[in-house]
Amino acid sequence: MNIKDDKLLKLLSSKVEPKISIILPIHPETPQIEENILTYKNLLKDVKKDLELNYPRRQWENTVEQLDSLLLDRQLFSTSKRALIVFANNETMEICEMNHKVSPKAHVGTTFLVQDLLLPVENIDKPDYIVNTSRDRINVFDIDSLKEIKLHQIHHKFSDYYSDFDAESNVNSGSYGGKNIAQYHGHRSKPEEQERDQEIYYRYLDKAFSSYYRENGETYLLTGLPEVLDVYLNSYGNSPYIGGVIHSSILNLSHQELNEKINEYKYFEDIAMMEKTKHELHKALNQEKLIQDLNTIGFALDNHDVRTLVLVNDVIIIKY
């Protein structure tokens, strides 16, 4: 797994001790917020006991003050993510929101607990939703539950969007070439008009998805029949909100079949990611750009020379 957050990289390579790690599972349901806070309080209590027994107060009093202040942030404990990981020392503190399940634990010592942060199953770029694309509509599924949902403030059908776009556009118009000769132009019937409608709707979807991505960082796994999906990808295939593509429709799949399809997709994505990482590590090794010594890592961070931090068999490696 790669870490590309400069502040977190800096903290993980810091020499300042003691280093405190708090691993907190999160239950996002509103009634569970108090339970989340209580779990954090108990973990923090264990941290304070350990600090008082083993370290002078001057080495941790700033840290504890910061950790105590988190109890005032109820929104932090109601995040939609599954876990919070807090790293802190007397210099600074960083909070990571994770998508995988963790067990509650606290640790005080000379190192941080990065294992939970770097679990292989955690994919930072994991899409938030599955979007099955058709010519005039989309169907959206939650990536975890695989249940169909409605995205807030987005038109899932072109007909819904079109009523806002042009309230008069569905009215047929007729032109007369003479007595008893009429040529009616039904807006919804001509192939070229259908293509134009599709182009309008896809342009709207691109703007809507881009807006969600800018505001919340949401990404989407796009699916659909190849002949339909390729039309969308030809125009918007390089958009940052696209977290992956499956060139087949998922609408007629059972829940079990959909689960198998997504697991298959994730498997091949994981294989591709590992092969890419192997290639990058091999290339960096040949260029003598792999370092493991924490002092050298800290120096590289100070000079903004760090590209990626990688965990391989519990060994921290920096590529720069």
Residue 313 above 80 pLDDT?
no
Residue 71 above 60 pLDDT?
yes
In whole angstroms, what is the distance from residue 245 CA to residue 223 CA? 6
Amino acid 320: pLDDT:
52
pLDDT one-digit tens code per residue, 249-302: 999 999 999 999 998 998 888 788 778 777 877 787 787 777 766 667 666 666
Q: How many CB atoms lie within 10 A of CB 247?
A: 13
The two tokens of residue 198 are 């599709």
Amino acid 184: pLDDT:
37
Residue 170 above 70 pLDDT?
no
DSSP 99: S
Least confidently predicted of 14-18, 146-150, 153-157, 165-169: 165-169
Amino acid 31: pLDDT:
59
Residue 101 above 70 pLDDT?
yes
Contacts of 38 (CB under 8 A, 6+ apart): none
pLDDT bin (cut points 50, 70, 90) of residue 151 is confident
In whole angstroms, what is the distance from residue 291 CA to residue 37 CA? 39
Number of residues written out for the chain: 320
Least confidently predicted of 96-110, 173-187, 196-210: 173-187
